[in-house]
Chain A
Amino acid sequence: MSKIELKNVTLNYAERKSVFTALDDVSFSVKAGEFVSIIGASGCGKSSLLSLLEGLNFPTQGVITIDGQEITGTGEDRAVVFQHYSLFPWMTTRGNVIYGIKQVNKKLTNQELTAIADDYLEKVGLSGFENKYPLQLSGGMQQRAAIARALAMSPSILLMDEPFGAVDAKNRKILQELLLELWENSEEKKTVVFVTHDIDEAILLSDRIIMMTSNPGRIKKEIPIDFPRPRTGSHLLESKKYLNFRKELLATFFNDISEKIGGEEVAL
């Protein structure tokens, strides 16, 4: 059975006089322990799609199930990392992680909570920053802390909404490999749905890429990625297969965008 299953999902937003279709008849499924990236240009509905999985929004038509159960709202089985504002700025790094753990496990003592939090902060390389407030950290470090909080809540599904979109190029590479390492080495592999507009990021991380087109948001293509794991960015770049594959993907991607908006330049 699939971990996550979307069947004919349509999402409409009511505007003043018209109806905007953000997602049109979207169906796909994600296996347990699979890493799936959703890729597409801005406005293709990929973040809307993720908000449905988060349980913050509900489909106009169609059904989304997790482990066969229809989603009725947010849940402890899912943890989310946003691009911004995942962390609460008035809590320290440690405080944020502890607050997250407390929501799924209310019985732990303060000592246990601190121990778990510090353990996860160490895993993401934030030892020594436990008592800093998010605004005292760089954007990359904030995302590390957000990942630590998400993992510390031990969800079976990790939902990531362009988590590295606001991080500089160098740190983005480091964070991608950190995420890969944490995901590959976890005892029970988490199911990840990762939204991005960065093709290289999607190839590096995913088992499968779901490419979307915009207006209305539809699935254009599902592309399995079978480069052997563990992967690193530098290894991939050396392989010829990767370069060809990337070229092909980019062509599909751009082809779509130029079709839709008449060749206007789009930030990828």
Chain B
Amino acid sequence: MKDKLKKQLNITNLLFIVFLLIQLLPEQYSKETYEINIIIFVIGIQVIYLLLSFLNKKEEKMETIQDIIAILYLLIIIWQLLTSKSAILNELLFPAPGIVIEQFIADLPKILEGIQSSIFIIIQGYLLALVTAIPLGLAAGWHIRFGNSFLYVSKFFGSIPPIVYIPYAIALLPAFRDASVFVIFAASFWPILGATMAGVFNIEKKILDSAKTLNVGKLSMLFHVMLPAALPEILMGCSQGLGISFILLTSAEMIGGKTGMGYYIKYYSDFGDFTRIVVGIIVLGVVVSILTYFFNLLQSYLLRWRQ
């Protein structure tokens, strides 16, 4: 029992107490700041954290969670100290955390709709790139002579910032949705293609020899041998493509969209509504982090054979 209590003497719990103490300071912003929201949020996180630390046995994983929560607390404390608790920052440009949560709850339906629209566009463009770039990359990697010249072609196209395709996309595909799908496709296609070809080039020759001595057929060679052998590099390209997709889609939504989080931020920035801009930025960050997290899970599942 003593040990368990001693374990609770850590930076995360310390910061939690600091946060609670800060709430005793008087508010300096003139408008309502809904501080109760952030207090409930932090207490909620703390409850989850305590539950996890009592239930979870894996020390290593717990340490990471603990550190992430500590950083989160620290950011919230700094945010509060600079805004509502001191008014050092301009009230109009820098909303207090409580009011951001209040706005988030109020706009939730609109936000969910925006996220859904963005994710649908990304999935379409990205899947299209996956199903074309990977087989093409495998085939090109196979025919080495063809592949060599193709590698330069893909490097050339890959080096063009995909945002330059936007004018063409808009001219050819007047619907914003279609144009966005096209741009996402064009942006993620080249890194995935390049990574697939590089992956095939770098397959250990002895692996291919071993497959040949088994008399493997052509299709099986492509999809049962070359694809998994090149998968580590292919996934690197996929992760790169996914990252570019989000940057591009958000830009596209800010330039010409009527949906999505990029549009949400752009729309309210025209009104100088900085509370909503902050809401949009945080939501985008969280959505991208969650997607990246699931992508990494999928990646470590697919590569579980690598020790």
Using a CB–CB cutoff of 8 Å, the interface residues on chain A facing chain B are 54-56, 74-76, 78-80, 82, 84-91, 99-100, 103-104, 133-136, 153, 159
Contact = CB atoms under 8 A, between A and B. Distances in A.
Given A75-B215, A88-B228, A104-B215, A80 B306 contact: no
A205 B50 CA distance: 64
B213 A88 contact: no
A89 B206 CA distance: 12
B210 A103 contact: no
Q: Per DSSP, are chain B's interface residues mostly helix, strand or loop, or mixed?
A: helix
B188 to A, nearest CB: 24
A14 B307 CA distance: 39
Given A87-B210, A89-B306, A99-B214, 14 more contacts: A74-B212, A74-B213, A78-B213, A80-B213, A82-B209, A88-B228, A88-B229, A90-B305, A103-B214, A103-B217, A104-B215, A135-B307, A136-B307, A159-B213
Contact of B210 (A76, A88, A90, A104): A88
A100 B213 CA distance: 10
A56 B228 contact: no
Contacts of A134: 305
Interface string B269-307: 000000000000000000000000000000000001111
B231 interface: yes
B224 A99 contact: yes
Contacts of A79: 213
Given A90-B228, A99-B224, A85 B215 contact: no
17 contacts: A54-B209, A54-B213, A74-B213, A74-B215, A80-B213, A82-B210, A84-B206, A85-B206, A86-B210, A87-B210, A88-B225, A88-B229, A90-B229, A91-B305, A103-B214, A135-B307, A136-B307
Contacts of B207: 85, 88
B210 A85 contact: yes
A155 to B, nearest CB: 10
B300 to A, nearest CB: 14
Contacts of A99: 214, 224
A84 to B, nearest CB: 6
B216 interface: yes
A133 B304 CA distance: 9
A55 B213 CA distance: 8
B60 interface: no
Q: Per DSSP, are chain A's interface residues mostly helix, strand or loop, or mixed?
A: loop
A186 to B, nearest CB: 20
Interface string B100-114: 000000000000000
Given A74-B212, A104-B215, A82 B206 contact: yes
Contact of B215 (A86, A89, A103): A103
Contacts of A153: 214
Which of B204, B209, B210, B220 counts the most A-chain CB atoms under 10 A from its CB? B210
Nearest to B204: A85
Contacts of A78: 213
B217 to A, nearest CB: 8
Nearest to B220: A103
Which of A84, A85, A90, A134 counts the most B-chain CB atoms under 10 A from its CB? A90
Contacts of A84: 206
Interface string B124-139: 0000000000000000
A76 B214 CA distance: 7
Which of A80, A88, A134, A153 counts the most B-chain CB atoms under 10 A from its CB? A88
Given A90-B229, A90-B305, A135-B306, A56 B212 contact: yes
Interface in B92-106: none
A116 B88 CA distance: 75
Contacts of A54: 209, 213
B220 to A, nearest CB: 8
A66 to B, nearest CB: 14
Contact of A90 (B204, B220, B231): B231
Contacts of A82: 206, 209-210
Given A82-B206, A99-B224, A89 B213 contact: no
B100 to A, nearest CB: 46
Contacts of B214: 74, 99-100, 103, 153
